[in-house]
Amino acid sequence: MSDAAHDVLLAVEQLKTHFLTDEGVVQAVDGASLEVRRGRTLCVVGESGCGKSIMARSILNVVDRPGRIVDGRILFRPEAGTEIDLAALPPHGQEIRSIRGRDITMIFQEPMTALSPLYTIGNQIIETIRLHLPVSKRQAREIALDALGKVGIPRPHQMIDAYSFELSGGMRQRVMIAMALVCKPKLLIADEPTTALDVTTQANILDLIGGLQRDMGMSVMFITHDLGVVAEIADDVAVMYLGQVVERGPAAQIFDDPRHPYTRALLRSVPEPSLKRRSRLAAIRGSVPHPLHRPSGCLFRDRCDFAVPGLCDRTVPILIGGAHAAACHAYGSRPDRPLLTAADAIHEAGAPAPKAVGEPILVVEDLKVHFPIRKGFFGRAVGNIRAVDGVSLDVRAGETLALVGESGSGKTTLGHAIIRLLDPTAGSVRYRSSDAGEVDLATLPPGAMKPLWREIRMVFQDPNSSLNPRLRVAELIGESLKLAGIASGDALEPQVRELLERVGLRPEYLNRYPHAFSGGQRQRIGIARALAPQPRLIIADEAVSALDVSVQAQILNLLSDLQAEYELTYIFISHDLGVVSHISDRVAVMYAGRLVELAATADLFTRPLHPYTEALLSAVLPPRPRPADARRRILLDGAVADPASQPVGCPFAPRCRYRQDVCGRVAPPLLRQPDGRLAACHFAETLSLAGLDAPINSTACAHQDTQ
């Protein structure tokens, strides 16, 4: 065996995993080839529906029925000289089962459901140990306790008997990692393990995996759609599209010199958290086709800017190149790729002119939303969850105000309270309506809110569940038009067609049901529905979070265009600071139901005034490789403060690395700082906090590093 081959722990060769369904054969993985090197991290990237997860599950042969591996080899070389073809082993046999969980282990995206809630976490970890190691129950428990300690679970002796539902998402993912690493595997396959987590938690989990990998010398196959994560951790990258690997190579080369048009397009479509905002994003046309409707020739040609008629639609490109290989005709036949470089110029469009921002149209004052905690036989209220606890802010006409914060910070509740999907407990929301003058939305009787729902609209996160599956597009959008009294009867259809066209959908789609659309298209329908009554203010609640980067870019561009065209005002609720820096004029940072900082986007990103903002910014992963010393992150322990307890002092103090005695005693009010910005920190004026990409003050970091 050559050195190069010895260096490879796992080689997937021409893997084909197909699903035999009633509609036909779905070629979920169709000839994918990649390699995982010993001790290295391979990131597998691509949009959803490209077969990344199925490929990963194929390696352990745990694909759900009716899927099965139909061709190809999966060569696993646990030691020098041994080579096992995992694809050839019987899927329920002893041989593959002894590799699963011991030599190759997996962790998954949903830490909420990847553990069974019916057994303690200890039970599930000990089970794994005893499947593979000849140890007694007592010994296994010791090993499990040790593993829980290693992944940073506090009080392992207590937590080992806890159930998964008693833990937060980040803690559950740590438990999953402990379970995956307990038998010291050679390869860890991580399938989007941080996608469902907050950025701050993601940073912790990535550090944890990286540290354990160094200690144990294992290899990692990390599946993700987040190019920021790839840039942060990858040694090698494999880009998948429609079941095939279209480009693979060392991470640095993939980022600096992407060869496949799909890789290039993916990289360009990420909203880079940068300070020059508002350039249009380079979206990829259309979306990933269903694997049943694969195009002929090159799989990507439908969405490719460089497709050559007569070539790309006829001939299937093959992976060409050595360590850095791509499957593209343009690359194969023209090493200098004149086509590709010329087209890049299109995307270097300048920033648009600054917008005219007017008077406040919405003034929120001391808004509170409390939910009673009920207990006992008669449901007495024994306390309050202070989801929103005294928030004041204004929204100016024509601007985009972003609300950011971890989950549990109250940003969605605030949005819902403004539009009265929830009734506020106290405070006022004064809205300057187009005709009726100023109204307080917080105290309006429920019936009186109705006409205002034409002017204030909402776009929801999940485009799958926010559209009634039994209504056609014409009805979904027409309903809003009718309710607003804009059109009815025969006048309805032309209006709906116009709206569809405006959001970039073909008007012929009028009579389709929502299930016939992709996620991005459904979000366009949701936006069209929000636009129908000609609103003035749109509250977008994580409107692009569920979408792939390429589609996310399309929707962000659309939102910008619509804002310019209809003079819309947006409240943009998001946890993704990259997206926020791209779309918003001002940013409001929320923590535990309170506003901790509010500033113009550029100010906030260059010089945050609140330590929480600094920590959030440090967790942002830009989609390009950074030198190791720039990767320093502020690790936030634990979760957002429990909103049920009434904190004394600053709610962020327990997690703050600058805390002083006063922070635990006195809650800092949201004060106007000398430069006109708002921040709720006792030391806002004296602290010098790091913005995006600035080196983090390491002395104050010291106590974080020791953990």
Partner 1 sequence: MAGYILKRILYMIPTLLAISIVAFTIINLPPGDYVDRLVIEAKNRGESMTPEAIDGLRQLYGLNKPIVEQYVSWMSGIVLRGDFGISYKWNLPVWALLGERLGLTVALSVATLLFIWTVAIPIGVLSAVRQYSVWDYVFTFISFVGLAIPNFLLALGLMYISFKYFGQSVGSLLSPEYLDAPWSLAKVLDLLSHLWVPMTVLGAAGTAELVRTLRANLLDEIKKPYVATARTKGMPEVWMLIKYPLRHALNPFVSSQNEIFVNLVSGGTIVSVVLGLQTIGPLLLDAFRSQDMFLAGSSILILGALAVIGTMLSDIMLAWLDPRIRFN
**Minimum distance of partner 1 from residue 53's CB (angstroms):** 10
CB of 180 to partner 1, least distance (A): 8
Binding segment for partner 1 (CB under 8 A), chosen from 91-99, 339-347, 382-390, 678-686, is 91-99
Question: What does the CA dihedral 639, 690, 669, 201 come to, rounded to 10 degrees?
Answer: -10
| DSSP result, 67-97 | EEEEEEEEEE-SSTT--EEGGGS-TTSHHHH
> Which of 26, 43, 45, 99 is close enough to bind partner 1 by CB under 8 A?
99
Tell how strand 400-404 and strand 569-573 pair up.
parallel
Residue of 5, 62, 88, 630 that binds partner 1 (CB under 8 A): 62
Pick the closer one to partner 1 by CB: 126 or 653.
Answer: 126
192: Cα separation from own chain's centroid: 10
131 lies in the binding site for partner 1 (CB under 8 A): yes
Q: What angle do CA 523, 524, 529 make, to 5 degrees?
A: 95
Stretch of residues binding partner 1 (CB under 8 A), selected from 61-69, 282-290, 382-390, 610-618: 61-69
Angle between helices 473-483 and 492-502 (to 10 degrees): 110
Among 16, 18, 77, 102, indicate the residue that binds partner 1 (CB under 8 A): 102
Which CB atom, from 124 or from 428, has the smaller least distance to partner 1?
Answer: 124
Please tell me whether residue 488 binds partner 1 under the rule CB under 8 A. Answer: no
Q: Tell me the three state secondary structure of residue 658.
A: coil
The binding track of 109-128 with respect to partner 1, each residue x by CB under 8 A or -, is xx--xxxxxxxx------xx
Query: Which one of 76, 108, 222, 652 is in contact with partner 1 (CB under 8 A)?
Result: 108
Dihedral through CA 94, CA 97, CA 98, CA 104, nearest 10?
150
Q: How far apart are CA 232 and CA 238, in angstroms?
A: 15
Residues 533 and 483 sit within 8 Å (Cβ to Cβ): yes
Residues that bind partner 1 (rule: CB under 8 A) add up to a total of 34
Q: Which of 14, 20, 90, 98 binds partner 1 (CB under 8 A)?
A: 98
Q: Does 65 bind partner 1 (CB under 8 A)?
A: yes
The yes or no reply on residue 382 touching partner 1 (CB under 8 A) is no
> Using alpha carbons only, what angle is made at residue 204 by residues 202 and 209, rounded to the nearest 5 degrees?
95
**643 with 558: CB under 8 angstroms?**
no
For residue 435, the minimal CB distance to partner 1 (Å) is: 49
The distance of closest approach from Cβ of residue 637 to partner 1 in the complex, given in angstroms and rounded to an integer, is: 25
Rank residues 63 and 473 by Cβ distance to partner 1 and give the closer one: 63
What are the tokens at 521?
A: 């298209």
Q: Tell me the C-alpha distance between 263 and 241, whole Å.
A: 10
Shortest Å, Cβ 62 to partner 1: 4
For the bound state, the minimum distance from the C-beta of residue 593 to partner 1, rounded and expressed in Å, comes to: 24
- Kindly tell me which residue out of 3, 82, 92, 470 binds partner 1, with binding defined by CB under 8 A: 92
C-alpha to C-alpha distance for 205 and 198, rounded to whole angstroms: 10
Q: Are 524 and 459 spatial neighbours (Cβ–Cβ below 8 Å)?
A: no
Burial of 65 (0-12, 13-18, 19+ CB in 10 A): exposed
CA 298, 300, 301, 305 torsion: positive or negative? negative
Question: Which one-letter amino acid corresponds to residue 227?
Answer: L
- 246 three-state secondary structure: strand
Q: How far is the CB of 56 from partner 1 (least distance, A)?
A: 10
Q: Give 162 or 510: the residue with its C-beta nearer to partner 1.
A: 162
In the complex, least distance from residue 96 CB atom to partner 1, rounded to whole angstroms? 8
> Least CB distance from residue 90 to partner 1, whole Å?
11
Q: At closest approach, how far in Å is the CB of 548 from partner 1?
A: 20
CA separation, residue 556 to residues 407, 540, 560 (Å): 22, 11, 6
Side-chain half-sphere exposure of 285, counting CA atoms within 13 A: 9
- Nearer to partner 1 (CB atom), residue 125 or residue 362: 125
Do strands 24-37 and 41-45 pair parallel, antiparallel, or not at all (unpaired)?
unpaired
Q: What is the dihedral of CA 434, 438, 444, 448, to 10 degrees?
A: -30
Among 8, 9, 54, 106, binds partner 1 (CB under 8 A): 106
Stretch binding partner 1 (CB under 8 A), from 94-102, 343-351, 428-436, 530-538 = 94-102
* For partner 1, the closer CB: 176 or 499: 176
Q: Which contacts (CB < 8 Å, 24+ apart) does range 210-218 have?
A: 212/150, 212/151, 212/177, 212/181, 213/39, 213/41, 213/188, 216/181, 216/184, 217/38, 217/39, 218/39, 218/181, 218/184, 218/185, 218/186, 218/187, 218/188
* From candidates 60, 199, 206, 653, binder to partner 1 by CB under 8 A: 60
One residue of 100, 248, 454, 655 binding partner 1 per CB under 8 A: 100
User: Which C-beta is closer to partner 1: that of 101 or that of 297?
Assistant: 101
100/301 with CB nearer partner 1: 100
Check residue 28 for interaction with partner 1 (CB under 8 A).
Answer: no
Range 147-186, binding partner 1 (CB under 8 A): 163, 165-166, 176, 179
Binding site for partner 1 (CB under 8 A): 57, 60, 62, 64-65, 92, 97-102, 105-106, 108-110, 113-120, 127-128, 131-132, 163, 165-166, 176, 179
